[in-house]
Structure 1
Amino acid sequence: MTDDVGQLFQAALTHQAAGRTRDAEIALGSILAVEPGHAEAIHMLGLLAFLRGDYAVAARLMRHSIALAVQPPTHFWSNLGETCRRIGLMDEALECCRKAVATDPDNASAHLNLGLTLRGSGDPAAAAAAFQDAIRCNPGLWRAHTSRASALAAAGRTDEGIRCLDAASALLGDDPDRLSTAAGTWVELGRPTEAVECYRRALAIRPGDAEILNSLGVLFDRAGRKMAAIEVYGKAIAAAPGLGHLYSNLGNVLRDIGNWPEALAHYRRALELRPDLFVTQSNILFTRLFDPAATGADLLAEARSWEAGRGTPAVRPPPASGPDRRLRVGYVSPDFKEHAVTFFVEPLLRAHDRRRVEVFCYSDTLRPDDTTKRLRALADGWRDTLGVDDARLAEMIRADGIDVLVDLAGHTAGNRLLAMAGRPAPVQVSFILGYGGTTGLSWMDAIVTDAVLTPPGFESHFSEKVIRLPGVFAAFQPRESWPEVFPLPDGPPLLGCFTDPARVDGGQVELWRRVLEAMPDARILFKHASYDSPDMAGHWRRLFGKVADRAIFEGVPGGWGANMDVYGRVTVMLDSWPASSASASVIMLWMGLPVVTLAGGHANQRFTASILTAAGLSDLAAIDGDGYVRLITTLAGDRRRLADLRATLRDRVRNSPLTDAEAYARGVEAAYRALWRDACGA
């Protein structure tokens, strides 16, 4: 390098450090006019392109610089690896990051980039090891500590993650960005108290920071502190009224407290500001399920609008040969953990005939638990996909050769529907149990349901082909730890509703008020984790007006396993409306308690009706509000029938399609086979 070229390169570095990007580019251009093969100058141009977000140009320039260099230095490989990671070229990113580490094993940044790339590739355990190497090289690299703690959480090694983040606390100092990052990691580790403290420290230094306020609101929301979340989101919006995601997050809380009209208004405002907020569009669809006036046709029209403007859908890939060969089936879910959906998913995975299907699970699960471990053991192939972008997830699915890809989330939180837009599998199926409605997406071929959820004529509510299983929409697996059925309690009737209050609207509360007015000695017990928050319990109690003293609200301290005795206190259970319950209703029947439902005009209002029909209790499904009130009051006063149901319900459920996992799995496999044969043209 001549003196003039050296001076120009130093000037470029100075300009870049000072943020004078254009001046840096001019200096680098002058170098290349003299030495067209100057690898460092070309690489730095790539770095400048990276900094302005032009990753494709950055990657091209960085590759060129590596080709020119006799011995590419560590930062060449590391920077190209980071660039490839940003654009989803994960295989190339991993190769580059590994070459960077091999070139300089003591370079902390190289190990950090390798860890980030491994995490993005769905290997949190290997990522944690790479972050540990970064810490070994530079114990003061705070991002390596927080990244390692996050990776350990994703790998199910929570205790190690907590120790890791504790050890890094001194590195956070009074930097709001570091404190906010640490708070997010504490959330991943399931330690909300530490997270709140970090956010409060950050806000003390930078009061009114909308993003930090937003993160605190998300934390309050997840912790059930809905009113506190509403207050914090309000402050964030006041500080930055142009940030669309703030309105979307506030909409989530408003939906959870039953105020779906205001929730929809906030979601739509979010989309006005940020039309690219796909998750908000999913939230609108999910929230419309709680609109009592929405018809199946309304829900389909709203769902189809989600795809509008996204370009031409991908073409279905040709199926691999063999209409009758063993199928590779992939299940995609953010809920492979202790969750309502897994009561139905676990028996299916367990009962699948491995001669007919090979099972892969793509788990987007935050904080894996013991249920995750059980499900992992039931899969032939397991992929941790949390943090993996849509393009990379689609690549993983293609690489696994999946024939039938099954979405278990629909438009609920954490869904990966966009990863399926590229058609990574020849047949793509949605299960109704996770969402309760149509996806509205052209790239989803079929939806698995039953004849009660979707009776004849409901086909017009779905963009997908409707596949009705012969028994019930899903089989259920009771927990062995659950107690025996309790005796029928004496005394005045205590009715119960143990479902998420987000599923309830003012019209349903009015029906419950009518029940209490018709039964002066009765009370209703509402029990759900949401009521662990006193402000949530108070909010719902006030809606009962003059009969509020007979509406009891209880949380679930210690989880449901520690609260199963509540089923011995209640005589009749009440389903939620306008969104019906699934797992909660089966549990009620298993515990000997009849449940009364109001079967509505679309699938999401008919889950309990389907369950009751499978158990031989279709007479407990009303078709209008008057019938609902009449069924409850009549059943609550019929102690002979209540006693008979207590004595027989568990056996009735045990001998019904509700727990016949083998029959359910055969029906599902037959549906997959029929769809596959159609795709093969057989």
Structure 2
Amino acid sequence: MADSRSGGQTTQAEHVIGISFRHRLRNDRSTGRHERVLEKARQLIEGGCTSAEAHAWEAQARHRLGDLSGAKRALEHALSLQPEDIESINQIAEVLLDQGEARTASRYLREGKERNPDNMTTNFLLSRAFYAMGRFVEALELCDRCLHYAPGEPEVLKWRALQLTSLRREGEAQEALQEVLKNNPRDFGANNNLASLYLYQTEYDKAEYHYSIAQEVRPEADQPVSNLLGARHYNPRYSADDLFQYLVERGQALRPDKRIERAETSREPDKRLRVGLLSGGFRTHPVGQMILPAIESLDTRLFELVGYSTNQLEDHLTARFKRRFDAWFPIGHLNNDQLAEKIREDEVDILVDMNGIGEGSRYKALVQEPAPLLVKWVGSLSNTTGLECFDYLISDHVETPEGIDDRYVESLIRLPDDYICYQVPKYAPEQTSLPAIKNGYVTFGCLNNPAKLSQELLEAWALLMQEVPESKLLLRGKQFDVPAFCEKIRATMASYGVEASRLLLEGPSDHRDFLATYQRIDVALDTWPYSGGLTTCEALLMGVPVVTRTGPTFAGRHSATHLTNAGLPELVTDNWEDYRKKVKELVGDLPNLAVIRAALRTVLEESPVCDGERFSRHLTTALRAVWQRHCEGKEPAPLSFEKNGKAMFEGEEFPLRFPTMREEESFDWELSSPVLVIDNGGDWAEHPSTQRLLHRGDIAMLSFDPSCALGVAGHLAHYGEFQCFSGAVLGDGRPRDLYTEESGARVSTLDISEQRGAASPDAEVPSVGLDSIQGLPSLDMLSLDDCHDNLTIMENGKSSLSYALLIRVRVRFNPRYRGEADIGTLTSWANRNGFRFYRFHNANYQEVDIEEGEFSLDPSQLISADALFVPNNENLSGLSDDKKKRLAFMLHEFFGVRDITYEILRSCSEKKAREYIEMVRERSPVKKERGAHDSLSKDANDVVADEVDKLLAEMN
């Protein structure tokens, strides 16, 4: 009895088993009895069978049972016995595809295709591999080749539809799926994918019908239900109550049949947290573009980041995510049970989901509670998840206004600014002048997903266009490559009185060209009830204001929060009448609209919407706060931030205060007490080392913030001894006028009228003389920005500064303000008062714009720098060892200065200096046994704060 696969003779074991056994095994395979197939295949192999077929059967059974690694090993064994067996090649490729290893699978398949070019399975699997790799054209060619050999094959037609959709050929994709449904109206994949195509075409009822059929066919499948819930958020006929009820019902349906204990890790509030991030959007994708600046700014000493990617597509943003992550795992091949187990094994402390109900959704893994804390953030974040396994949902005060907490099963984390942070693409085209001035008519535009163009929305837009004669509407999206969809939009608008000639319908393009579309748009119209998110940020980047009407859910307030946090709350409304009014006000004053257009990019980029460092500080507070609460054994509770960054849990009497951070590896500076830093203007509070050193207990800080705009004030108070005096500035005790620059980015108590003519102050703020603050402990460092009268500040602080160790002053070499102290004046003061100029630090140069592609020239014109002043040689030599160590600490930790740090330490102790050199040489901190050094007492801090408050009260 010859073996059809191996080509050799059978073994004695196979003779004994006989033909009937093999027949029963094949029958088990065909009826899905995979456990029995595996058992019988193992009997064959253990009985001495050398047939490749037995190993292939084992592999197939393991594959179907979810043991992909075991299946791969069995197939490798089969291929070692029969290297040219095309069936084993196809099987191992399929396993690799399911493991997310498309590139490796394609190598096997290309080899198999060389041996047998017409093998349909090989061509089909290679098409799948190319699709997973983003090579859609090649994938489609192979699908078409398969259909040549097997016309009407449903599996091939369904894959062909996916590839056509990726190539933005939705009309042909729909035809392929309808061909499948002709023969099998209840085909799961065809119904699910056709429903998605109907959703893209705003055929909401048809989409729901086909999603419902797919759900009936496979009630255990996640995708149709998730898609259905997503589709309902686009449909205006569903209220917030309806959607909440659907989501809660879905959450209950996903609850595991048996109780699963939540994962547990060591409850240490001061440890470095392991945070898992689950997403398919670590790339040029709305998720990637909305989180990257924050992720890159997170302090690596506080967080260990683990990326779980559900998508194989990668690009330049993926590379940046990988560089920041401590571990990276593609997990698309893992089933839900395996993913949950992996997260448990990785001992993740906080798992952040960024898939939601969208592509790559893994709710069935998350309901197994694989981490101590589960948090929802961005990524199909249209509403509550409805899942009780989630502890928190990251939001803000605009997305989730006060009073709607009962619509969320999660506890809300309301950040002080936006709930995202926008990554501005480097290739963004330049802004252009206002199109309406050149065209003679106004062009409205909307580049949101056309699936959001509901009937009610189009009717509102049509009425607006009737009220703005000769205006045109530019719409762009992949659906406009489909003639039938274009005709539908034209017919709908015509029924409301807007002729087709006023509509500009354009298909998709690459992202840079997509952004350039805004160069032809005067005002962007936001969608409703599902608002724009990323598109609103992109419109503002290109200088185009966006008008939005808020919708009933989280999904309806994306634009509202981006506009509000970019300083444009006047463009937000909650009704159509006001919506039209705001648009008409914009286009009714074209000169003013042109000014807005010219300023919007700067306004956006300098707002919290694009401030990664600011956002990461708030995110850090949020994550460490919920972890600390978990460690205290308390149930999750809403966490709200004030605008200054101060955060408090609902029901708690006092704001957050984090325990001192552990650092196993740190140089022991032997400080007797925290170094006291006084910061005027607020910029030193935002120094990258400030939070870490506060948290470590090595510094205390008093910060004067005249503009009341210091976003980190409350945030830093959570980490250590930090006091912020908003609405006050250091000076001579007399009130000072406060001026705001034209960009709105900076404020000053010095008049900048020399640059722009007579200036009027915006407000008046009290000033405080350093020497008038009673009870001020010995000052170690004074930090001054370049927006205030620094010479007066130092003159009125001579007594306090006589004990200081370091003065840092931001100096501009071409002063912009009247009365601004230059470097010569500051150096003269320092020389008279026991200090000497040491060096410039953090120099800023004027960059030169070059229009030759990516080419650039090194900037050479010095604009500003930090001038550092230290005690002169006589005073330095007279310092105590404790004072010298404090100065060495500041020079190293704040400025990275090593040579003088070494010299100062050597004047105290040769041993200490050698330890420092060893630490520098190894580029890693020396392990430190921290003593219980005295902290700046709470009483001392309170005395200083009370004294400053008293001085301010007297001035008022």
Match of 2:455 in 1: 506
Amino acid at match of 1:10: H
**Structure-1-length-normalised TM-score:** 0.82
Match of 1:255 in 2: 199
Match of 2:430 in 1: 484
Residues 372 and 321 of structure 1: CA distance in aligned 2, closer, same or farther (over 3 Å): same
1:153–1:189 Cα contact (<8 Å) kept: no
**Cα distance per residue 1:294-344 (max 9 Å; x no partner):** 233322221222244442453322332312211100111112221122111
1:245–1:277 Cα contact (<8 Å) kept: no
Shift of 1:622: 1.9
Match of 2:80 in 1: 106
**Cα distance per residue 1:638-671 (max 9 Å; x no partner):** 2133122123222221222101112211222222
Work out whether 1:604 is the aligned partner of 2:609: no
Work out whether 1:561 is the aligned partner of 2:517: no
Shift of 1:207: 3.3
Give distance in 1, aligned partners of 2:161 and 2:442: 39
Residues 92 and 245 of structure 1: CA distance in aligned 2, closer, same or farther (over 3 Å): closer
Match of 1:128 in 2: none
Match of 1:53 in 2: 32
Give distance in 2, aligned partners of 1:71 and 1:180: 31
2:283–2:289 Cα contact (<8 Å) kept: no
Alignment of 1:71-82 (within 5 A): none
Give distance in 1, aligned partners of 2:54 and 2:119: 30
Q: Which protein, 1 or 2, shows the higher relative CO under an 8 Å CA cutoff with sep ≥ 6?
A: 1
Work out whether 1:675 is the aligned partner of 2:626: yes
1:577 to 524, 528, 550: 528
Higher mean C-alpha deviation, range 84-93 or range 313-322: 84-93
Give distance in 1, aligned partners of 2:41 and 2:307: 36
2:543–2:599 Cα contact (<8 Å) kept: yes
Match of 1:350 in 2: 296
**Cα distance per residue 1:155-207 (max 9 Å; x no partner):** 7x6xx987876665455655544443333233224333333333334334433
2:252–2:387 Cα contact (<8 Å) kept: no
Give distance in 1, aligned partners of 2:517 and 2:158: 36
SS in 1 for 2:308: strand
2:445–2:524 Cα contact (<8 Å) kept: yes
Residues 58 and 597 of structure 1: CA distance in aligned 2, closer, same or farther (over 3 Å): same
Give distance in 2, aligned partners of 1:385 and 1:89: 14
Shift of 1:595: 0.4
Shift of 1:6: 8.9
SS in 1 for 2:524: strand
Work out whether 1:496 is the aligned partner of 2:445: yes
Residues 213 and 622 of structure 1: CA distance in aligned 2, closer, same or farther (over 3 Å): same
Match of 1:282 in 2: 226
Higher mean C-alpha deviation, range 368-377 or range 77-86: 77-86
Give distance in 2, aligned partners of 1:107 and 1:544: 67
1:531 to 480, 502, 512: 480
1:299 to 243, 246, 250: 243
1:195 to 130, 136, 139: 139
Amino acid at match of 1:522: S
Amino acid at match of 2:130: W
Match of 2:15 in 1: 10
Give distance in 2, aligned partners of 1:57 and 1:149: 24
Match of 2:174 in 1: 230
Match of 2:470 in 1: 521
Give distance in 1, aligned partners of 2:595 and 2:281: 36
Alignment of 1:116-131 (within 5 A): none
Shift of 1:282: 0.5
Overall identity of the aligned pairs, in %: 27
1:226–1:536 Cα contact (<8 Å) kept: no
Match of 1:452 in 2: 398
SS in 1 for 2:193: helix
**Structure-2-length-normalised TM-score:** 0.60
2:180–2:187 Cα contact (<8 Å) kept: no
Shift of 1:363: 0.8
1:327 to 273, 276, 282: 273
Amino acid at match of 1:348: A
SS in 1 for 2:277: strand
1:441 to 360, 381, 387: 387
**Cα distance per residue 1:262-310 (max 9 Å; x no partner):** 1112111222222122110100111111121323332222122224444
Shift of 1:492: 1.2
Match of 1:87 in 2: 65
1:430–1:447 Cα contact (<8 Å) kept: yes
Give distance in 2, aligned partners of 1:270 and 1:71: 43
2:210 to 232, 248, 266: 266
**Cα distance per residue 1:523-559 (max 9 Å; x no partner):** 01112344344454444333322422111012233x0
Give distance in 2, aligned partners of 1:145 and 1:7: 28
1:188–1:367 Cα contact (<8 Å) kept: yes
Give distance in 1, aligned partners of 2:622 and 2:179: 50
Residues 172 and 454 of structure 1: CA distance in aligned 2, closer, same or farther (over 3 Å): farther
Shift of 1:353: 1.2
SS in 1 for 2:234: coil
Shift of 1:362: 0.6
Match of 2:712 in 1: none
Match of 2:501 in 1: 549
**Cα distance per residue 1:350-369 (max 9 Å; x no partner):** 01111111101111113322
Shift of 1:139: 7.8
2:94–2:125 Cα contact (<8 Å) kept: no
Give distance in 2, aligned partners of 1:11 and 1:555: 66
Higher mean C-alpha deviation, range 216-225 or range 137-146: 137-146
**Cα distance per residue 1:359-413 (max 9 Å; x no partner):** 0111111332222222211211100112222222222212221111111011012
SS in 2 for 1:322: coil
Residues 376 and 286 of structure 1: CA distance in aligned 2, closer, same or farther (over 3 Å): same
Work out whether 1:634 is the aligned partner of 2:578: no
Amino acid at match of 2:417: G
Shift of 1:345: 1.9
Give distance in 2, aligned partners of 1:344 and 1:378: 16
Match of 2:376 in 1: 430
SS in 1 for 2:80: coil
Give distance in 2, aligned partners of 1:539 and 1:371: 37
Alignment of 1:654-669 (within 5 A): 654-669=605-620
Amino acid at match of 2:467: A
Gap regions ≥5 residues in structure 1: 22-44, 109-133
Amino acid at match of 1:408: M
Give distance in 1, aligned partners of 2:393 and 2:67: 32
1:341–1:583 Cα contact (<8 Å) kept: no
Amino acid at match of 2:90: R
Amino acid at match of 1:410: G
SS in 1 for 2:417: coil
Q: What is the number of residues matched between the two proteins?
A: 616
* CA RMSD between the two structures: 3.3
2:186–2:217 Cα contact (<8 Å) kept: yes
Larger proportion of strand: 2
Match of 1:466 in 2: 412
Match of 1:318 in 2: 264
Give distance in 2, aligned partners of 1:458 and 1:237: 43
Amino acid at match of 1:443: C
1:227–1:536 Cα contact (<8 Å) kept: no
SS in 2 for 1:544: helix
Match of 2:334 in 1: 388
Give distance in 1, aligned partners of 2:482 and 2:233: 25
1:446–1:467 Cα contact (<8 Å) kept: yes
**Cα distance per residue 1:82-123 (max 9 Å; x no partner):** 6445434567667x659x75xx88335xxxxxxxxxxxxxxx
Alignment of 1:19-168 (within 5 A): 20-21=23-24, 52-56=31-35, 83-89=61-67, 97=74, 101=77, 106-107=80-81, 143=90, 154=101
